[in-house]
Structure 1
Amino acid sequence: MTDHHIGMIVPSSNLTMETELPRMLRAREEALPGDRFLFHSSRMRMKHVTPEQLRAMNAQTDRASRELADARPDVVASACLVAIMAQGPGHHCVAEEEIRTALRDEGSEAPVVSSAGALLDGIAALGAKRVAVVTPYMEALTKTVVAYIEDAGTEVVDALSLEVPDNLAVARLDPDGLREHWRRLDLARADALVLSACVQMPSLSAVQPVEDASGLPVLTAATATTRRVLTELGLPPVVPGAGRLLAG
């Protein structure tokens, strides 16, 4: 049995990052015995998804990274996709390097994954050139996410904002609602569907059913982050029942 220690940097009000990633990797442990995944988190204060609170949260990155370095993780995953994307196109590269620098300063050489960068990588891994997107954000922040994805070279053919500003309320959204929300999107030109462009909006139980119903590859910020975590650990990105992105 090989233990893999996963460090996670999460907003203080995030409940879903520490729920869905472990669920996926527990399912992988059952399907592919031999690896065990252990989770360690550091939190950054944020209650409402507003530009002001997102900036204030980002300012805590150095402290959170140094705390995680003490646990000597094998990989560090940063979650709050919109906090990074709200800083402008390509900012995930800057944010990931900031975390790497803090880790190195504390003696850790762990690779770093951000949910923002992982989502772009997941879209690329599926070979998708055009996507549709569902977010829990207010419309203005959804437009920021759309611009970020498009700056990376992927056209967003349609986007749906659920407009929930309170981050705890986002965590309480029923993932089964996504089994219907996606039908409000125009998917005629889409190559893939981003069912949740947010690691706080629960979505895992809807991924495979929506993929089966839509006929399109379905990914989320959480499934994309899980894929990057596994590849950074040198493991095949396989999780049963989590959509084509993690089907191996």
Structure 2
Amino acid sequence: MATILAGVGLLLGALVLTGKVGSLAYDLIAMAGDNTVILLIAGALTSMVLGMGMTISAAYLFLAIALAPALTESGLDPLAIHMFMLYWGMISYITPPIAFAAFAAAPISGSSSMRTGFEAMRLGTIIYFIPFFFVLNPALIGQGTTAEIASVLGSAIVGVLLLSAALQGYLLGIGRLGHARFVQWPIRVALFTGGLLLLVPGGDNFGGISGSVFTLVAVGCVAVALALQFVIQNPNKARIGVLSE
């Protein structure tokens, strides 16, 4: 742990002493070009790295100076940007090799620190996606009309449930997805795709495709996944249905 923190400290110190903090925003813009998604990914990784070994408040202040200008200049919602940075600055708390929160819990569970960190990362996989969704669709944080917020929030809840089911292999109300690995993975991929598309707002950042198109494709993916799951869980009923036709 001491070695990891020392490395993080050297990284942060190098950024400050070389003056790269001030140019970081412009370097990110140059690297991402006009692609907002790539800029967000670069910003997320930067936030997580700079958030390592620092308190949440210190990490946020550091990121607000170093990263916010790059994301603001891309035309994203300022409130969503700052929440994005704060969120990704905290994600390092469950992400190895730092994972302060997981490492603190390891002695309680009697498990090794690194194993606990990876388990925390696995269980919290969905939270790595959520910041991207509310930055690309600010209605998720209350930026929009009441009808828009309600519609987007409903889609987001369903989308997050589907993504979580795909990542964990268990769907609420149905149970374990598939029984054999070669059958389980197609179901999980279909659910993951459907959940992801429900959360994608559409628009210029996604080739000009509207959110309605993404929603229709998402419904199709989920329908395929549920049909496969039904056939697996009820092979006799599925066989009878085919024979009756």
- Shared topology, TM-score over 0.5? no
Q: Which structure features the higher share of strand residues? A: 1
Work out which structure has the larger RCO, using CA pairs closer than 8 Å and 6 or more positions apart in sequence.
1
Normalising by structure 1, report the TM-score: 0.36
Q: Which structure features the higher share of helix residues? A: 2
